[in-house]
């Protein structure tokens, strides 16, 4: 992307919306830079989404009412929770499931579910969990072929924490002098929650290195991934697909071929890697409704004898998004290993359990809920809740979430003016480019494979921050994560919310010097 690195941006945007409101005297300045919830001096900083969320909370403007006629308002496109219009009022409500609600109430009434429970899941429960995420057939195939260890975790965050923690603090029985120091590998633009995870490790932050998730054509950047492996002999890698913040989905054939081959080459050179697939948004992939079925077994088989020895494979799941159960903190961590290496699997299992207990991350209620929702019936059949939940997710994906992307992009393109354009790239129609007044590319958005989020990628983090700040001033809250401004389509359930958000974002982009040019 060609953007002058010396271009300075204005402290405040001067896009057309902004200018128009200034002229009409409609701008009401609010102090969104209130005292941070977490003042400086602490080495552990909140992630960007949390920080922006706190600014949103502290903003005194009323929340945008999609049915109202407000002049001053705030809109939360920072949020990572899926909202839908209430069928009666059309006002935003958290996506949930009648079945889940019914089960929750049953749980409350059942005295046994008040008891403390540990996080381990096994048998029909574990198989049911695999069924919910991966499908019934694949669940049975995995169970038959592999040695499994599963835990209910405190949300997807808990799954990531457990995975990272265990593999970066290897105990003597699994560690050698050579592999005790491991690098955490993340894609260069990553969910900032990963940083929060790595900040809490023992007495020193582990080494983190990054690889580029996508190349200039918008495809998985296998060369960058290989370079990362070459430079980090022993590593713990998170492959986030669908990705937060960009919405990018690693194609199944890339996982089962290119990534597996790169890992095998790494193992042959004496390297080791613990690979965690962060699949928190698995149920929201538009192009691949059976995503896991398209790569999982092929990927594991391709690893051959490296699987479980040099290459460990974890699947980190979240019920938060799929069930709207954010506050219950239901996640799952599943280790899949060859049956032949059960002994070392046991060691890993032990460490995972200790970590969960020791960090206070047990979620007894979540385990009770997971059990009620997913566990196979006594005769081993599929839990009848699973197809019901899947259908609910599919309905909301098809009828709610997917259309939002198109609506937003159309509004955004329409609102842009002053010679700034937003259009599909000729080389790749799935990549939309934002062209400045001089027709130079300023930013781009790859149409997300998962419509929960969209990422508008700028040339540098400074541009992204400037746009995000300008949006905040105008009442639209979204986070700048490195050079990406993340648009939470999940939090914009009404066409009026989408339109207002697009308007504000276009105004903010219009104020960017790199977009308007130096004249």
Site for other proteins in 83-102 (CB under 8 A): 93-94, 96, 101
Point out which span in 21-29, 166-174, 382-390, 457-465 binds other proteins (CB under 8 A): 166-174
> Based on the number of CB atoms within 10 Å of its own CB, is 107 exposed (0-12), middle (13-18) or buried (19 or more)?
middle
In angstroms, give the least distance from the CB of 332 to other proteins.
Answer: 13
Point out which span in 5-13, 251-259, 344-352, 434-442 binds other proteins (CB under 8 A): 344-352
**DSSP at 326:** G
Q: Peptide bond preceding 242: is omega within 30 degrees of 0, i.e. cis? A: yes
For residues 470 and 483, give the distance between their C-alpha atoms in angstroms, rounded to a whole number: 15
**Does the protein bind other proteins through residue 333 (CB under 8 A)?**
no
**Contact residue for other proteins among 9, 170, 296, 317 (CB under 8 A):** 170
The residues in 361-420 that bind other proteins, with binding defined as CB under 8 A, are 361-365, 367-368
For residues 365 and 349, give the distance between their C-alpha atoms in angstroms, rounded to a whole number: 21
Element (H, E) at 423: strand 421-424
**Does the protein bind other proteins through residue 51 (CB under 8 A)?**
no
Question: Closest by alpha carbon to 16, among 478, 492, 414, 486?
Answer: 414
Q: Could you count the other beta carbons within 10 Å of the beta carbon of residue 354? A: 14
In angstroms, give the least distance from the CB of 166 to other proteins.
Answer: 10
**Does the protein bind other proteins through residue 424 (CB under 8 A)?**
no
Alpha helices, DSSP H, located in 397-494 = 402-415, 461-473
**Does the protein bind other proteins through residue 60 (CB under 8 A)?**
no
The residues in 180-219 that bind other proteins, with binding defined as CB under 8 A, are 180-181, 193, 196-204
Point out which span in 130-138, 155-163, 403-411, 504-512 binds other proteins (CB under 8 A): 155-163
In angstroms, give the least distance from the CB of 64 to other proteins.
Answer: 17
Point out which span in 233-241, 290-298, 323-331, 471-479 binds other proteins (CB under 8 A): 323-331
For residues 43 and 373, give the distance between their C-alpha atoms in angstroms, rounded to a whole number: 40
**DSSP at 114:** G
**Contact residue for other proteins among 157, 240, 322, 506 (CB under 8 A):** 157
Q: Are 64 and 74 in contact (CB under 8 A)?
A: yes
In angstroms, give the least distance from the CB of 151 to other proteins.
Answer: 8
Residues β-bridged to residue 318: 331
**Contact residue for other proteins among 33, 60, 114, 269 (CB under 8 A):** 114
For residues 99 and 91, give the distance between their C-alpha atoms in angstroms, rounded to a whole number: 22
In angstroms, give the least distance from the CB of 107 to other proteins.
Answer: 9
Nearer to other proteins by Cβ, of 43 and 68: the residue is 43
For residues 509 and 291, give the distance between their C-alpha atoms in angstroms, rounded to a whole number: 35
Point out which span in 169-177, 244-252, 406-414, 467-475 binds other proteins (CB under 8 A): 169-177
Point out which span in 63-71, 105-113, 252-260, 389-397 binds other proteins (CB under 8 A): 105-113
- Residues whose CB is less than 8 angstroms from the CB of residue 261 and which lie 6 or more positions away in sequence, other chains included: 302
């Amino acid at each position: 992307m060609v953007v002058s690195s010396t271009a300075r941006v204005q402290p405040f945007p001067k896009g057309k919306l902004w200018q128009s409101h200034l002229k009409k005297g409609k701008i009401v300045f609010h102090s969104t830079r209130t005292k941070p919830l977490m003042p400086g001096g602490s080495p552990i900083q909140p992630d960007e989404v949390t920080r922006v969320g706190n600014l949103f909370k502290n903003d005194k403007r009323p929340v945008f009412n999609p049915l109202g006629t407000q002049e001053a308002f705030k809109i939360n496109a920072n949020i990572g929770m899926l909202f839908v219009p209430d069928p009666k009022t059309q006002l935003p409500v958290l996506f949930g499931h009648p079945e889940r609600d019914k089960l929750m109430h049953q749980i409350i009434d059942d005295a046994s579910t008040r008891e403390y429970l540990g996080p381990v899941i096994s048998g029909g429960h574990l198989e049911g969990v695999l069924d919910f995420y991966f499908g019934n057939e694949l669940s049975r195939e995995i169970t038959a072929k592999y040695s499994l260890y599963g835990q209910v975790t405190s949300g997807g965050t808990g799954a990531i924490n457990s995975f990272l923690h265990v593999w970066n603090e290897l105990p003597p029985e699994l560690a050698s002098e050579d592999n005790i120091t491991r690098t955490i590998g993340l894609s260069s633009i990553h969910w900032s929650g990963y940083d929060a995870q790595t900040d809490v490790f023992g007495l020193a932050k582990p080494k983190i290195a990054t690889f580029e998730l996508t190349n200039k054509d918008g495809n998985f950047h296998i060369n960058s991934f290989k370079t990362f492996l070459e430079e980090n002999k022993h590593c713990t890698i998170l492959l986030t697909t669908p990705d937060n913040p960009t919405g990018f989905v690693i194609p199944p054939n890339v996982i089962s071929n290119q990534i597996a081959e790169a890992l095998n080459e790494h193992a042959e050179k004496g390297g080791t890697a613990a690979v965690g697939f962060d699949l928190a948004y698995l149920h929201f992939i538009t192009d691949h409704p059976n995503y896991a079925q398209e790569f999982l077994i092929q990927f594991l088989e391709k690893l051959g004898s490296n699987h479980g020895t040099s290459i460990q494979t974890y699947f980190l799941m979240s019920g938060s998004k799929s069930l709207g159960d954010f506050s219950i903190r239901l996640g799952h961590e599943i280790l899949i290993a060859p049956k032949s290496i059960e002994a070392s699997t046991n060691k890993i299992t032990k460490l995972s359990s200790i970590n969960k207990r020791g960090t206070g991350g047990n979620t007894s209620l979540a385990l009770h809920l997971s059990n009620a929702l997913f566990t196979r019936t006594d005769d081993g059949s599929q839990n009848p809740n699973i197809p019901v939940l899947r259908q609910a997710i599919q309905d909301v994906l098809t009828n709610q979430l997917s259309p939002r992307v198109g609506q937003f992009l159309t509004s955004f393109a329409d609102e842009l003016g002053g010679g700034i354009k937003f259009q599909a790239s000729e080389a790749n129609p799935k990549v939309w480019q934002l062209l400045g007044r001089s027709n130079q590319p300023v930013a781009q958005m790859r149409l997300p494979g998962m419509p929960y989020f969209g990422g508008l990628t700028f040339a540098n983090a400074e541009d992204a921050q400037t746009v995000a700040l300008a949006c905040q001033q105008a009442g639209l809250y979204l986070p700048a994560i490195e050079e990406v401004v993340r648009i939470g389509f999940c939090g914009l359930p009404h066409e009026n919310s989408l339109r207002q958000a697009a308007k504000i974002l276009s105004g903010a982009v219009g104020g960017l010097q790199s977009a308007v040019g130096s004249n």
